[in-house]
């Protein structure tokens, strides 16, 4: 087995392990990160004039956004916000298609900025777990257990409420 195949296999095992161990909130964050990485790879491929690599990277970003992020939305529970996110994801896919056709780095930058903003918002609403609360603030006899924070609208859009 050559070294690059071994590294790729090792990387794939690492990603699969992270997915298996991740909670639903972390999975969405991983999708955002994967799309951002794919767009960065597409931008680098355009700059190198490597058309096959550009097409593969943009296809990967499209797949993550459409079949990962957009398909994960729970439009019944998420209501208007889920609908707005779906429209934004569709817009991103359209811009990525334009970037692919026209080698438009500006369109890639636009989608990357949108995704980074959404990832930042998503990561900022990370739900607290009972185990992390227990470590940082042990309960005493006089302190009632804390209740988990109410789900945010963004969490509800993904059916994570």
Q: At 47, which CATH number?
A: 1.20.120.340
Residue 152 has a pLDDT of 72
Domain limits for position 75: 24-124+153-161
CA distance 108 to 102: 11
pLDDT in tens, 48-90: 999 999 999 999 999 999 999 999 999 899 999 999 999 999 9
Residue 58, domain member (yes or no): yes
Residue 106, domain member (yes or no): yes
Residue 160, domain member (yes or no): yes
CA distance 61 to 67: 10
Residue 79, domain member (yes or no): yes
Residue 41, domain member (yes or no): yes
pLDDT at 2 over 70: no
* Average of per-residue pLDDT values in the chain: 81
* Tally of structural domains, the chain: 1
Predicted TM-score of the model (pTM): 0.72
Kindly report the three-state secondary structure assignment for every residue of 94-152. HHHHHHHHHCCHHHHHHHHHHHHHHHHHHHHCCCCCHHHHHHHCCCCCCCCCCCCCCCC
């Amino acid at each position: 087995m050559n070294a690059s195949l071994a590294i790729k296999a090792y990387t794939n095992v690492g990603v699969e392990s992270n997915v298996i161990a991740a909670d639903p909130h972390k999975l969405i964050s991983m999708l955002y990160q994967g799309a951002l990485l794919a767009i960065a790879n597409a931008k680098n491929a355009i700059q190198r004039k490597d058309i096959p690599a550009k097409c593969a990277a943009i296809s990967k970003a499209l797949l993550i956004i459409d079949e990962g992020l957009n398909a994960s939305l729970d439009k019944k529970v998420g209501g208007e916000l889920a609908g707005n996110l779906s429209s934004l994801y569709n817009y991103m896919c359209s811009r990525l298609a334009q970037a692919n056709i026209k080698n438009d780095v500006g369109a890639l930058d636009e989608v990357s900025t949108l995704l980074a903003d959404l990832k930042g918002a998503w990561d900022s609403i990370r739900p607290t777990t009972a185990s992390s609360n227990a470590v940082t603030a042990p309960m005493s006899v006089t302190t009632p257990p804390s209740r988990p924070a109410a789900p945010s609208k963004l969490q509800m859009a993904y059916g994570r409420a």
